[in-house]
Structure 1
Amino acid sequence: MRSLILAAGLVLAGCAHPWNIADVAPGTPRDLVIARAGQPVRVLPLADGGQRLQYTLQPLGRYAFIVDLDPAGRVTSARQVLTETNFQRIEPGRWTRGDVEREFGPPALVDHVTSFQGDVLTYRWAERNEPMFYWVYVDPGGVVQRAHPGMEFINSPQDRD
């Protein structure tokens, strides 16, 4: 049984998956990134003529990976972006929905609340292995008005009813 689990782990490790971006070195060619991680969810142009590859495990996962490529198609940076430090970069009144999705990928959920006119983008992430939400409130003009974290309660007493 133990050898079966080990074999399954080795097979999965060899498959294309966004987790394979975690150790992609600068200078790695685009084709190798895609061979290791699969096709990105989105490809966006960068101001310098390069590209941004977005990989996300949303809506149920808590991680999103960004790979920036230079104009020659080589990695300049690769990182997991759903972190408290990155979310704190969001500037209400300045950032747009496009800025948010360029930096974090598509949200897990787009919702509405009666106390706000506009979309609420929900990102799932983890802080110290605790499941969290990050909500970004975008007005009808596409401008972020507020953003904040919140706990995602899993298996709470309400979930058991």
Structure 2
Amino acid sequence: MVRQLFRAGIWVLAAALLLGCDAQRISELEEGVATEADVRSRFGEPDRIWPGEAGERTLEYDRQPEGLRNYMITIGADGRMSALRQVLTPANFARIQPGMSQQEVQRILGKPARVTPWERQGEVHHVWRFLESPNRTMLFTAVFDRADRVLRTDIAPEPGPQDQGGGR
């Protein structure tokens, strides 16, 4: 029990540190003014770069599995930041529809916290952790078939230690 509480405390501390650091970094960047170099100096190398149709590029900064946010930062064709978005939101979850490809989903949400294959069912579950106001950790799951297409989605609370056999 003590060990599980200690582990949970470490995760909470890590998430808080990430959130605090991100808030500082975000406050230092202004849309239309900050350059790609400014973004990279604050956030580091992106986890992935998504090309756009009009010469823009979107830099993906994942905070999974420890964090509760993922960021997409768009750099316009002029080299200036045109958008900075935290993408793990109800509006973005609603955009995930049956038939979408894994790449389409990750273009919207970024890298998941975990991927779990269910061979017998022919499914793969991609899970993102996110924060529901004010401080409830939730899980968004996109279930993919063998062809890497969304079958269904689900939102549920993240199980706590008491839900995993660690409670009384």
Distance change (3 Å), C-alpha of 1:142 and 1:160: same
| Paired residues of 2:29 and 2:38 also in contact (CA < 8 A) | no
Shift of 1:55: 0.7
1:109 correspondence with 2:110: no
- For residue 159 of structure 1, the aligned residue among 157, 163, 166 is 166
Q: 5 Å matches for 1:53-64?
A: 53-64=59-70
More helix by share: 2
Bigger mean CA offset, 17-26 vs 149-158: 17-26
Shift of 1:68: 0.9
The residue that corresponds to 1:123 in the other structure is: 128
- For residue 69 of structure 1, the aligned residue among 55, 69, 75 is 75
**How high is the sequence identity, in percent, across the aligned residues?**
29
The residue that corresponds to 1:51 in the other structure is: 57
The residue that corresponds to 1:34 in the other structure is: 40
Unaligned runs of 5+ in 2: 1-16
Shift of 1:118: 2.6
Which whole-Å CA distance do the structure 2 matches of 1:35 and 1:70 have between them? 17
SS, match of residue 72 in structure 2: strand
Aligned residues between the structures: 147
The residue that corresponds to 1:7 in the other structure is: none
Shift of 1:65: 0.7
Which whole-Å CA distance do the structure 2 matches of 1:118 and 1:146 have between them? 10
Which whole-Å CA distance do the structure 2 matches of 1:119 and 1:56 have between them? 20
Shift of 1:124: 0.7
User: What letter corresponds to residue 109 of structure 2 in structure 1?
Assistant: F
User: Cα deviations across residues 3-52 of structure 1 (Å, max 9, x unaligned)?
Assistant: xxxxxxxxx89xxx544236632212100011111111111211222111
Using the size of structure 1 for normalisation, the TM-score is 0.81
Distance change (3 Å), C-alpha of 1:46 and 1:135: same
Which whole-Å CA distance do the structure 2 matches of 1:44 and 1:18 have between them? 21
Distance change (3 Å), C-alpha of 1:23 and 1:117: farther
- For residue 96 of structure 1, the aligned residue among 98, 101, 104 is 101
Shift of 1:100: 0.8
| Paired residues of 1:84 and 1:127 also in contact (CA < 8 A) | no
| Paired residues of 2:61 and 2:72 also in contact (CA < 8 A) | yes
Q: Could you say what the CA RMSD is over the residues aligned between the two structures, in angstroms?
A: 2.3
SS, match of residue 44 in structure 1: strand
